[in-house]
Amino acid sequence: MDAHTLDQIRWGLLSLILLIISIGLHEFGHAWVADLRGDPLPRAQGRVTLNPFAHTDPIGTIAIPAFMIFLPILTGSPAGFGLIGWGKPVQISLLNPRTRRMDDILITLAGPSMNIVLCLFFALIGGLGGFHFNDPKAASVVKFLVSGVFLNAGLAVFNLIPIPPLDGSRIALRLGIYTEEMFQSLARWGFLILLVMINISIVRSVMGDGIEWLAAPWFMLWDLLL
């Protein structure tokens, strides 16, 4: 195994670790806001924790992302898709009927919001740490931080797609865009719909534009802080 392949494997491992942490904090966001809104279920299930492994789904957080990362490296073929993954869903009870709609909206938005906070976090490290984008001495750190911004922007955009089980679908339901019947019908086929969508070039192009749009302000902030 040559040095280039070893370097790719090293970056693959870092990408997987970054994804596990980012997904874990996404799910923590849901659990934390549910706890703040008085929902006892996430705390009872041990989900109000920053430990990413409490939020890890063995298939969605580790197996599938690892396959997507390492198969192209080991086979020498280009990846035909971006990196995706998901965590263990946070269960909520929404016990208060008077605040149920708003509780659900806030809890749902907390996940993507946490990914946006992580974009800010990586940009602040880059800017305040004095890591210039084109500095060869800091190339590895810059690559990691840039990956962190793009990955979390990607997770936020992907999760706001209004197809179950993604967060965007619950927002659509609570805003009245979907009826309960429509939501349940979509939920039965949600995974298949998403699988088809992410392999349609125009959808991937729109998502890519959305990710770039969401990431751009954080790179501007990074640059301003230098």
pLDDT tens readout for residues 100-130 = 999 999 999 999 999 999 999 999 999 999 9
Q: Provide the angle, in degrees to the nearest 10, between the axes of the packed helices 3-36 and 64-75.
A: 170
Reported as a pLDDT band with limits 50, 70 and 90, residue 71 is: confident
Least confident of 13-22, 70-79, 89-98, 125-134: 70-79
Backbone angles phi, psi at 145, to 5 degrees: -65, -40
Reported as a pLDDT band with limits 50, 70 and 90, residue 81 is: low
List, in order, residues 6 or more apart from 198 with CB less than 8 Å away. Answer: 81, 82, 84, 204, 207
What per-residue confidence (pLDDT) applies to 3?
81
Short-list 81, 218, 220, 79, CA closest to 152: 218
The model carries a pTM of 0.94
What per-residue confidence (pLDDT) applies to 122?
98
List, in order, residues 6 or more apart from 186 with CB less than 8 Å away. Answer: 163, 164, 169, 178, 193
Q: What is the mean pLDDT of the chain?
A: 93
The Cα–Cα gap between 169 and 161 comes to 7
Q: Which residues of 133-151 are buried (b: 16+ CB within 10 A; e: fewer)?
A: eeeeebeeebebbbbbbbb
Reported as a pLDDT band with limits 50, 70 and 90, residue 4 is: confident
pLDDT of residue 78 exceeding 70, the answer is no
pLDDT tens readout for residues 135-189 = 999 999 999 999 999 999 999 999 999 999 999 999 999 999 999 999 999 999 9
| pLDDT, mean of residues 91-102 | 95
